C-alpha cells in the first residue's frame, strides 16, 4: 500500500436491492490532491462518498481511509475517523433551527470542551475563510443556495479535518457562486493541507481545479488521469461525456421496441 | 387466492415494521440517560412538544367537560340523582376520556409535528450530515424528543381531566343549577385515588410511550422524499389512534374488569 494514498477503493461492489450500483470500482486518492469523480446522474457517485464515510458498506471490496478499513471499523472508531473527515452536502444540510454561527459551532460544541470565547474565535475564523463572517446571525432560511453551501463548507472544516468531500458542489448555482466555490475548494485544499474529493458532473469547472479525474459509468471506472490525460482519452464514452454530445455510446433513445411497429401496431407488418 | 397472498404480504410487512420499530425503541432507550444530560435540548423539546399542546388540550377539555355535564345531567335528573353529576363527570374523565382524548389530540398536534420534523431533517440530509460529523442523531435528535413526549403526556392528560371537571362544573352547576357543594362532595366521596386516578395516570403514561414511539419512529423511518414524509405523518396519526384505542380496551379490561 502506498502511504501517499489517503483513500483507497479496491474492487468495491455495492448493490441496492437487486440493482447493482457499483461493480468493481478501483480509486486511489493522493494526499493533498483535489480529485474529482465524474459521471452521469444516477451512477452511484454519492454512494461512493457514503462508502468512504462509512454510512454504507460495500458487499465486497476494500474501502481504506488513512490506513483504516472503513467497513470493518466498530462504531466508536468510525466516529473517531469521521471527526477527521468533512463533508459538504448538495443541499448544504444546515440545521435549520440554528443560525449560521451555531451551525459552524455545532461540531466544536459536540466534540470539544473549548471555552466559549475560543469557540467564538474559531467559528469567526472559519466563517471568514468562506467570506461570511458578516452573516453569522442569519438563519439558514435567509441564505441563498450559494451562501448555504459556503456555511456548510465552514462547518465541514470546523474541526480541521484531513479530508473533505463535496457532493455536487456546483449544481444549480449561478456563475459567480460557481466561481466562488471553485476558488474556495482549491484555496482551502492548498492552504489547509486538505485532501479533497469532489463528486460532480460539471466538466469544465472540475477540470479547472482538479489534479486528477475519474470518470465512472454503470458502476465501473471508465478512465482516470489528469484533466489533460482525459482530454486525449481513447474511450468514445468518455469523449461523449466530456463534450456533452447528445448521441454516442449512450444512445439518445431509451430502449424501446421498433418505432414503425410501435406506431402502426404489430398487425401492419 | 390473490387476496390471501396480499394478506400474507401485508402481515409480513407489518411484522417486519414492528420488529424494526422495536429495535429502534431499544436503541433510543439506551440513549435516554444521555438525553437527560443534554438538559437544554430537553427543555426546548418539552416546550415544543408539551407547552405548545396545552392550548388545544385546555380548549378541548373544557368543551368535553361541559358536554359531559349537560348529558350527564339529562340522564341523572330522571332518577333525581343529579347530585351525582360530579362523580359521573370526574370518573369519565380520569378513567377514560382524559388519557384517551389527550393521546389522540397529542398525536394530532405533537406527534405529527415530531414525525414531520424528523422526516424533513432526513429529506434535507441533516441527519446524514450529523452522522458524518460523528454525532449520533438518535442521541442528539430522537432521544430528547422521545423523552419530552413521554414526560408531557401524563401531565397533559392530568390537565385535561382537571379542566374537564371544571367544564362539567360550569355546565352542571353554573347553567343547570346542580348544587355546587354536592358536585364536589360526591366527587370527593366516590372517586378513589388509587383505583381511579392512578389507573388513569398509568393509562396516560402507556399512551405517552406509544404515541411518542410511533411519532419518532415514523419520522426516522420515513423514505427521504416529500411523499414519504407526508405519508409518514398521516401514518403517525392513524396508527397512534388505533394503538391507543386498542390498548385502552386492554388496559380497561385489566384495571376495571374485576
CB contact under 8 A, A93 and B129: yes
Query: Which pLDDT value is given to residue B6?
Result: 92
- When pLDDT is averaged across residues B11-23 and rounded to a whole number, the result is 92
Query: Which pLDDT value is given to residue A269?
Result: 53
Asked which of A217-231, B163-177, B234-248 is least confident by mean pLDDT, the reply is A217-231
pLDDT at A2 over 60: no
Query: Which pLDDT value is given to residue A3?
Result: 66
- When pLDDT is averaged across residues B225-254 and rounded to a whole number, the result is 95
For residue range B76-115, list pLDDT tens digits in order: 999 988 889 999 999 999 999 999 999 999 999 999 999 9
Range of B37's domain?
A: 19-251
Query: Which pLDDT value is given to residue B142?
Result: 94
**Confidence tier at B16 by pLDDT (50, 70, 90):** very high
Helices (H) and strands (E) in chain A, counts: 10, 10
Q: Is the dihedral of CA A137, A138, A140, A141 positive or negative?
A: positive
Query: Which pLDDT value is given to residue A239?
Result: 85
ipTM of the complex as predicted: 0.84
CB nearest A55 (choices: B128, B135, B140): B128
Residues of chain B positioned with their CB less than 8 A from the CB of A110: 133-135, 140
Q: Let me know if residue B107 belongs to a domain.
A: yes
Query: Which pLDDT value is given to residue A211?
Result: 93
pLDDT at B248 over 60: yes
A170: closest CA of chain B, how far (Å)? 17
Nearest CA in chain A to B136: A79
CB contact under 8 A, B135 and A107: yes
Residues of chain B positioned with their CB less than 8 A from the CB of A16: none
- Highest average pLDDT, of A53-57, A259-263, B240-244, comes from B240-244
Instruction: For residue A243, count other CB atoms closer than 10 A to its CB.
Output: 10
CB nearest A110 (choices: B125, B126, B135): B135
Strands A5-16 and A60-65: antiparallel
- Report the C-alpha gap between B122 and B124 in whole angstroms: 5
CB contact under 8 A, B124 and A87: no
- When pLDDT is averaged across residues A84-105 and rounded to a whole number, the result is 91
Instruction: For residue A40, count other CB atoms closer than 10 A to its CB.
Output: 13
Q: Match 475564523 to its residue by C-alpha cell.
A: A125
- When pLDDT is averaged across residues B122-150 and rounded to a whole number, the result is 93
Query: Which pLDDT value is given to residue A79?
Result: 92
Query: Which pLDDT value is given to residue A28?
Result: 92
How many CB pairs below 8 Å do chains A and B form together? Answer: 44
CB nearest A79 (choices: B126, B128, B134): B134
A232: closest CA of chain B, how far (Å)? 37
Q: Let me know if residue B11 belongs to a domain.
A: no
pLDDT at A218 over 90: no
Query: Which pLDDT value is given to residue A238?
Result: 84
Residues of chain B positioned with their CB less than 8 A from the CB of A96: 124, 126
User: Percentage of chain A surpassing pLDDT 70?
Assistant: 98
Helix/strand/coil for A139: coil
Instruction: For residue B1, count other CB atoms closer than 10 A to its CB.
Output: 5
pLDDT at A1 over 60: no
For residue range A131-163, list pLDDT tens digits in order: 999 999 999 999 988 899 999 999 999 999 999
Query: Which pLDDT value is given to residue B177?
Result: 87
CB nearest B125 (choices: A89, A106, A111): A89
Strand partners, B9: none
Among A13, A7, A16, A15, smallest CA distance to A63 is for: A7
Query: Which pLDDT value is given to residue A220?
Result: 87
Q: Does 3.40.50.300 match the CATH number of domain A1-84+193-269?
A: yes
Strand partners, A199: A37, A167
Comparison of pLDDT for A266 and A229, the residue scoring more: A229
Q: Let me know if residue B96 belongs to a domain.
A: yes
The H or E element spanning position A225 is strand A220-225
pLDDT at A267 over 80: no
Query: Which pLDDT value is given to residue B212?
Result: 96
Query: Which pLDDT value is given to residue B82?
Result: 87
CB contact under 8 A, B132 and A82: yes
* pTM for this prediction: 0.87
Query: Which pLDDT value is given to residue B148?
Result: 95
CB nearest A53 (choices: B132, B136, B140): B132
**Confidence tier at B44 by pLDDT (50, 70, 90):** very high
CB nearest A95 (choices: B126, B131, B136): B126
**In whole numbers, what is the pLDDT of chain A averaged over residues?**
88
Best residue of A53, A84, A95, A165 to probe chain B, by most B CBs closer than 10 Å:
A95
Q: Do the Cβ atoms of A227 and A213 come closer than 8 Å?
A: yes
CB contact under 8 A, A107 and B125: no
B131 part of contact set with chain A, CB < 8 Å: yes
Domain count for chain B:
1
- Delimit the domains of chain A by residue range: 1-84+193-269
CB contact under 8 A, A107 and B133: yes
Query: Which pLDDT value is given to residue A39?
Result: 84
Query: Which pLDDT value is given to residue A268?
Result: 59
For residue range A36-76, list pLDDT tens digits in order: 998 887 778 888 999 999 999 999 999 999 989 999 999 89
**In whole numbers, what is the pLDDT of chain B averaged over residues?**
93
Residues of chain B positioned with their CB less than 8 A from the CB of A53: 132
Query: Which pLDDT value is given to residue B106?
Result: 96
CB contact under 8 A, A55 and B132: yes
CB contact under 8 A, A91 and B135: no
- When pLDDT is averaged across residues B62-85 and rounded to a whole number, the result is 92
Q: Euclidean distance between the first and final Cα of chain B, in Å?
A: 43
**A180: its cell numbers:** 466562488
Amino acid at each position: 500500500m502506498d502511504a501517499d494514498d489517503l483513500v483507497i477503493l479496491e474492487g468495491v461492489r455495492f448493490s441496492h436491492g437487486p440493482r447493482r450500483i457499483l461493480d468493481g470500482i478501483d480509486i486511489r486518492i493522493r494526499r493533498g490532491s483535489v480529485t474529482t469523480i465524474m459521471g452521469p446522474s444516477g451512477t452511484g457517485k454519492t454512494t461512493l462518498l457514503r462508502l468512504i464515510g462509512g454510512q454504507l458498506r460495500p458487499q465486497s471490496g476494500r474501502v481504506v481511509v488513512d490506513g483504516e478499513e472503513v467497513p470493518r471499523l466498530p462504531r466508536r472508531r468510525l466516529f473517531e475517523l469521521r471527526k477527521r473527515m468533512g463533508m459538504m452536502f448538495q443541499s448544504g444540510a444546515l440545521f435549520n433551527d440554528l443560525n449560521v454561527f451555531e451551525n459552524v459551532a455545532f461540531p466544536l460544541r459536540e466534540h470539544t470542551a473549548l471555552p466559549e470565547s475560543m469557540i467564538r474565535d474559531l467559528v469567526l475564523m472559519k466563517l471568514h475563510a468562506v467570506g461570511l463572517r458578516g452573516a453569522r446571525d442569519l438563519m439558514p432560511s435567509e441564505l441563498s443556495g450559494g451562501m448555504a453551501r459556503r456555511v456548510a463548507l465552514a462547518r465541514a472544516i470546523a474541526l480541521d479535518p484531513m479530508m473533505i468531500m463535496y457532493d455536487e458542489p456546483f449544481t444549480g448555482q449561478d456563475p459567480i457562486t460557481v466561481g466562488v466555490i471553485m476558488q474556495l475548494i482549491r484555496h482551502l485544499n492548498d492552504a489547509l493541507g486538505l485532501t479533497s474529493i469532489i463528486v460532480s458532473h460539471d466538466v469544465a469547472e472540475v477540470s479547472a481545479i482538479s489534479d486528477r479525474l475519474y470518470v465512472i459509468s454503470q458502476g465501473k471506472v471508465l478512465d482516470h488521469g489528469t484533466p489533460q490525460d482525459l482530454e486525449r482519452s481513447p474511450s468514445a464514452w468518455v469523449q461523449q461525456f466530456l463534450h456533452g454530445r447528445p448521441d454516442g455510446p449512450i444512445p439518445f433513445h431509451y430502449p424501446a421496441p421498433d418505432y414503425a411497429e410501435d406506431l402502426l401496431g404489430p398487425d401492419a407488418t | 387466492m390473490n387476496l390471501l397472498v396480499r394478506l400474507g404480504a401485508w402481515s409480513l410487512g407489518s411484522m417486519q415494521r414492528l420488529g424494526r420499530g422495536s429495535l429502534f425503541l431499544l436503541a433510543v432507550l439506551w440513549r435516554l440517560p444521555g438525553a437527560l444530560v443534554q438538559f437544554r435540548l430537553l427543555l426546548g423539546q418539552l416546550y415544543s412538544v408539551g407547552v405548545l399542546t396545552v392550548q388545544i388540550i385546555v380548549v378541548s377539555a373544557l368543551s368535553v367537560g361541559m358536554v359531559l355535564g349537560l348529558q350527564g345531567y339529562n340522564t341523572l335528573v330522571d332518577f333525581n340523582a343529579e347530585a351525582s353529576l360530579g362523580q359521573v363527570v370526574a370518573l369519565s374523565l380520569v378513567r377514560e376520556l382524559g388519557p384517551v382524548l389527550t393521546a389522540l389530540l397529542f398525536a394530532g398536534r405533537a406527534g405529527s409535528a415530531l414525525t414531520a420534523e424528523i422526516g424533513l431533517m432526513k429529506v434535507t440530509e441533516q441527519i446524514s450530515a450529523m452522522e458524518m460529523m460523528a454525532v449520533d442523531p438518535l442521541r442528539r435528535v430522537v432521544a430528547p424528543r422521545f423523552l419530552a413526549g413521554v414526560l408531557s403526556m401524563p401531565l397533559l392528560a392530568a390537565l385535561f381531566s382537571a379542566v374537564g371537571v371544571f367544564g362539567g362544573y360550569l355546565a352542571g352547576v353554573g347553567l343547570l343549577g346542580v348544587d355546587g357543594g354536592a358536585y364536589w362532595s360526591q366527587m370527593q366521596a366516590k372517586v378513589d385515588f388509587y383505583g381511579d386516578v392512578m389507573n388513569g395516570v398509568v393509562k396516560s403514561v402507556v399512551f405517552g410511550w406509544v404515541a411518542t414511539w410511533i411519532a419518532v419512529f415514523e419520522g426516522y423511518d420515513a423514505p427521504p422524499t416529500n411523499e414519504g414524509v407526508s405519508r409518514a405523518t398521516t401514518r403517525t396519526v392513524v396508527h397512534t389512534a388505533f394503538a391507543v384505542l386498542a390498548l385502552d380496551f386492554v388496559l380497561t379490561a385489566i384495571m376495571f374488569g374485576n
